[in-house]
Structure 1
Amino acid sequence: MSEYSLESFVAKRRQNDAEHDYFELETPQLLEINLNNQFVWAKNGSMVGYVGNIKFEREGMLSGGIGNFLKKSLTGEGAKLMKAKGTGRLYVADGGKKVQILQLNNESICVNGNDILAHDQTVNNQITMLKSVAGMMSGGIFQVKLSGTGHVAITTHGDPLVLMVTPDKPVFTDPNATVAWSGNLSPELKSNMSFKSFIGRGSGEEYQMKFSGEGWVLIQPYEEVYFQQS
């Protein structure tokens, strides 16, 4: 059989039926979720295929009150999740970004709302905001706190890097390159006015996130700008 024959291509790329993990990477950019009469939350529009009997319901990240306000006014489509319920194999992806699978064990993390791909039904989500958001001109001003026990899948542009935060060494990051951080940290949003004056008002570098305390921050080698929808 030729290395480049159609048969060879299919054999190399076909689904591996021997793998049945709940959350499983089929490729670095493609997540497989094996459902057994249960449901998961997945990012709206992330479904690229499924096998079995799975139904989808579109819902907001939160329902009612401030959750609806945040969803409509700030987060755009990036904050919306759909419920996937049933039995079968669900395949989700997001713009070719790399997928990172995390297992929470009675723990919490904060994730940029646009970078959540999916999470287990046993994991709670709560939209939170930075204390100072008035000056933010681009998206990415909100985050979602995920807490509990279960699987979480987040996405990054390229290979991410974890920066450790210690009491004597705070970490500063670009909001548009910041993906996630440990749930015990409470970042501040700071404005660098001198930098703003030097390069003009349009740049995102005039804003920085400051992480103090004890924990970690996940950054990606890409500044992702989010567009709000009217």
Structure 2
Amino acid sequence: MSKYSLEAFVNETKENPQQKDYFELETPHLLEINLNNQAVWTKRGSMVGYVGGINFERQGMLAGGIGNLLKKAISGEGTKLMKAEGSGRLYVADSGKKVRILYLNNESVCVNGNDVLAHEQSVKSDITMLKSIAGMMAGGLFQVKLSGTGHIAITTHGEPLTLMVTPDNPVFTDPNATVAWSGNLSPDLKTNVSFKSLIGRGSGEEFQMKFSGNGWVLIQPYEEVYFTEK
């Protein structure tokens, strides 16, 4: 059999039937969620395929998942979730970004809203905005705090790097390259330029996130720019 034959291609790329965990990485960029009469929240538009009896429901403006009406109105596309419920195998992905599965054990983690791919229904989610004019102008600078017990899946552009935060060594990051941080940290947004110089700019080194205390911050080798839906 030729290594370029259709049979060889199918054998190389087909799913692994031995994988039965709730959340599984089918490939580094593709998450498989095995549902057994369960429900899960996924980023809207992330479904690329499914097998079995799975129903999808758009999140209502005031229903479960992330946030309330006001938060949804100002927080951009990264907050919109889809509820998937039933039994079968669900495949989700986000623009070819790398997927990382985390299991929370009565813990919390904060994630950039655009980098949340999926989470179990048992995991509580809540949005907080960075309350500064620079943060609002950057677009997409809102955080989702995921807490409780259960699986979550986050995405990064390329291989991420974790920076440790200590009281003696605060960490400064580019907001658009910041993916996640430990749930006990509350970042400040710092800027050393005037408001006038920020007008018309969507990203860049004009301002940074400052993390102080004890914890960690996850960054990616890419500055992701977000656009709020009209």
**What TM-score comes out, normalization by structure 1 length?**
0.93
Compare 138-147 and 112-121 and name the one that shifted more: 138-147
Q: What are the superposed Cα offsets for residues 156-201 of structure 1, whole Å, 9 maximum, x if unpaired?
A: 000000000000000000100000000000100111218x96x996
Q: Does the residue aligned with 2:137 lie in a helix, a strand or coil?
A: coil
Does the 8 Å CA contact 1:60/1:79 hold for their aligned counterparts? no
Structure 1: runs of 5 or more not aligned: none
Q: Which amino acid aligns with 1:94?
A: D
SS at match of 1:78: helix
Query: Are the counterparts in 2 of residues 192 and 208 from structure 1 also a CA contact under 8 Å?
Result: no
| Residues 86-101 of structure 1: pairs in structure 2 closer than 5 A | 86-101=86-101
Letter in 2 for 1:72: A
Q: Tell me what 2:48 maps to.
A: 48
Which residue does 2:147 correspond to in 1? 147
Identity value in percent: 74
- Output one character per residue of 1:71-99: Cα deviation in whole Å (capped at 9) or x when no partner: 122x2222100100000000000000000
Secondary structure (helix, strand or coil) at the match of 1:137 reads helix
The match for 1:162 is 162
**Structure 1 residue 136 displacement after superposition:** 3.6
Distance 1:13 1:116, change over 3 A: same
Q: Which amino acid aligns with 2:58?
A: R
Q: What CA distance in whole angstroms lies between the structure 1 residues aligned with 2:44 and 2:17? A: 26
Q: Give distance in 1, aligned partners of 2:156 and 2:148.
A: 22
For the pair 1:69 / 2:70, whether they are aligned, the reply is yes
CA distance in 2, matches of 1:135, 1:43: 23
In the alignment, the residues of structure 1 paired with residue 108 and residue 79 of structure 2 have an alpha-carbon distance, to the nearest angstrom, of 18
Q: Equivalents in 1 of 2:145, 2:48: separation in Å?
A: 26
The farther-off stretch of 148-157 and 203-212 is 203-212
1:224 corresponds in structure 2 to 224
When the two structures are superposed, what TM-score results if normalisation uses the length of structure 2?
0.93
Matches of 1:8 and 1:128, distance apart in 2: 48
Query: Structure 1 residues 174, 60: CA separation in 2 closer, same or farther (over 3 Å shift)?
Result: farther
SS of aligned partner of 1:205: coil
Whichever residue aligns with residue 70 of structure 1, its letter is K
Equivalent residue for 2:138? 138
Check whether the contact 2:132–2:189 (CA below 8 A) recurs between aligned residues. yes
How many residues of Structure 1 are paired with residues of Structure 2 in the alignment? 227
What is aligned with 1:209? 209
Query: Aligned residue for 1:188?
Result: 188
Kept in 2, the 8 Å contact 1:138–1:227? The answer is no
